Structure 1
Amino acid sequence: MKLTDIIRYSAVGCILLISFILLIDRWFSDQASSRIFESTQATPTRSIGLVLGTSKYIARSLNPYYQFRIDAAKQLYKEGKVDILLLSGDNAHRSYNEPWTMKRDLLKSGIPEQDIVLDYAGFRTLDSVVRAKSVFDANHFVIITQRFHCERALFIADRNQIDAICLAVPEPKGWAGLKIRAREVLARIKALIDVYILDMKPKFAGPKEPIETEPLELEGPHRPS
Structure 2
Amino acid sequence: MKKKIGILLLLGVVGLYLILASCDNIIENATEDRTYWNLKEVPKNKVGLVLGTSNRLVGGGSNPYYTNRIKATLELYKAGKIDYVLVSGDNSTQYYNEPTVFKKDLVQGGIPSEKIYLDYAGFRTLDSMVRAKYIFGLDSVTIISQKFHNERAIYLAEQKGLFAIGYNADGISLNQGLKVQIREYFARVKVFIDLALNTQPKFFGDKIEIK
Query: Could you tell me the TM-score, scaled by structure 1's length?
Result: 0.90
After TM superposition, give the deviation of residue 99 of structure 1 in Å. 0.5
The range that moved more, 90-99 or 47-56, is 90-99
Aligned residues of 1:86 and 1:119 also touching (Cα < 8 A): yes
Does residue 29 in structure 1 map to residue 28 in structure 2?
A: yes
User: Where do 5+ consecutive residues of structure 2 fail to align?
Assistant: none
The residue type paired with residue 72 of structure 2 is A
**Structure 1 residue 20 displacement after superposition:** 2.5
Aligned to 2:64: 64
Deviations for 1:85-113, whole angstroms, at most 9, x for unmatched residues? Answer: 00111111112111010100011111111
Closer, same or farther in 2 for the Cα pair 1:18/1:117, shift >3 Å?
A: same
Partner of 1:211: 210
Alignment of 1:59-208 (within 5 A): 59-196=59-196, 198-208=197-207
Q: Distance in 1 between matches of 2:75 and 2:163?
A: 22
Q: SS at 2:157's partner residue?
A: helix
Which stretch of structure 1 is more off in the superposition, 27-36 or 48-57?
27-36
Q: CA deviation at 1:39?
A: 2.4
Cα separation, 2, equivalents of 1:80 and 1:86: 15
- Mapped contact 2:47–2:82 kept (Cα < 8 A): yes
- Determine what percentage of the aligned residue pairs are the same residue: 41
Q: For residues 18-63 of structure 1, what are the alpha-carbon distances to aligned partners after superposition, in whole Å with 9 as ceiling and x for unaligned?
A: 1232121122111111211112222110000000000000021110
5-14 or 135-144, which deviates more: 5-14
Distance in 1 of aligned mates of 2:92 and 2:203: 13
Deviations 1:53-84 (A, max 9, x none): 00000021110000110000001000000000
2:4 partner letter: D
**2:37 is the counterpart of 1:43:** no
Inter-partner Cα distance in structure 2 for 1:12 and 1:119: 43
Following superposition, which runs of at least 4 residues in structure 1 exceed 6 angstroms of deviation?
Answer: none
Amino acid at match of 1:30: N
Taking the aligned partners of 2:195 and 2:115, their CA distance within structure 1 comes to 32
Distance 1:13 1:88 in 2: 37
Give the Cα separation in 2 of the matches to 1:12 and 1:60. 41
Q: Would you say the 8 A contact 1:142–1:164 is kept in 2?
A: yes
Look up the SS of the partner of 1:176 in the other structure. coil
Aligned partner letter, 2:43: P
